[in-house]
Chains A and B, each alone.
Chain A
Amino acid sequence: MNIENESVLTLPDGLLGFDHLTRYVVLSDNDKSAFRWLQSLEDPAVAFLLIDPWCFRPDYGPEIRNEDVAALGIRPESAKIVYAIVTIPPGQPEAMTANLLGPIVINVSAQTGRQVIVDNCEYYTTKHSILTEMRRATGLQATVH
């Protein structure tokens, strides 16, 4: 695994349910992968699989609230990265889902991040089937006979 930028990512408020863990690193198995690992530095047993949401939902349009933007210190022009957290039911990787309702937004220059609840929450859920929506996006479903 490679530690990207070798820098600590701080999530000052932690993640919901993991409020006490605030220091992470973002790791990748290989550069071409759409997946990343969000590894806790405070509890080695806690890691989240992240995905670039646009790789399977090119039309993803999260609306981020002003208070979340302010908390991250992001200006409209600042570089930010958005990741969705992936859930895989044990032994069923084909059923993997991504949480598009509560993505993680990272202020790249400050290396701080925050799990936000998107303002247009009527469009997104915590369980979007990655493979189904990826096939829909690429039109592959039309090939089913």
Chain B
Amino acid sequence: MLVLTRRTNQSIIIGDDIEITIVEIKGDQVRLGITAPRDITVHRKEIHEQIRQENIQAAALQAQDAALAQNLLDSPDAAKPKGSD
């Protein structure tokens, strides 16, 4: 991994058209400004990973659970926890 030291308002260029600027440094937080072509998506890594994990869980869904879920959508009251009525 390449490690560089930068100060506020300094930047790095990746390739020809991606620029990352250090906007602000406060305590242990760094604010980054990113300029990139429209077709490049930039996301926080942890959010990307959460969605990937969620997709994998979602794909494991069982057809019979989906049928039961449909019944619950039609009458959501039926799923109230016991003792709540």
Whether the Cβ atoms of A49 and B79 lie closer than 8 Å is no
* B62 on interface, CB distance cutoff 8 Å: yes
* A142 on interface, CB distance cutoff 8 Å: no
Among A2-10, A74-82, A93-101, which stretch is in contact with chain B? A93-101
Interface of A is mostly: mixed
CB<8 Å pairs between A and B, sample of 15: A15-B55, A17-B53, A29-B70, A34-B73, A35-B73, A49-B58, A65-B41, A85-B55, A88-B66, A93-B66, A101-B47, A115-B55, A117-B48, A127-B54, A134-B73
A116 and chain B: residue at smallest CB distance: B41
Residues of chain B whose beta carbon lies under 8 Å from any beta carbon of chain A? 38-41, 43-44, 47-48, 50-62, 65-66, 68-73, 76-77, 79-80, 84-85
Whether the Cβ atoms of B85 and A144 lie closer than 8 Å is yes
Whether the Cβ atoms of B73 and A49 lie closer than 8 Å is no
Decide yes or no: A134 and B47 within 8 Å by CB, A127-B54, A144-B84 being known contacts.
Answer: no
CA distance A85 to B53 in the complex (A): 12
CA distance A130 to B74 in the complex (A): 12
Most buried by B among A35, A55, A126: A126
Whether the Cβ atoms of B56 and A17 lie closer than 8 Å is yes
CA distance A67 to B37 in the complex (A): 9
Whether the Cβ atoms of B72 and A90 lie closer than 8 Å is no
Instruction: Specify which chain B residues have a CB less than 8 angstroms from the CB of A145 in the assembled complex.
Output: 84-85
CA distance A145 to B41 in the complex (A): 48
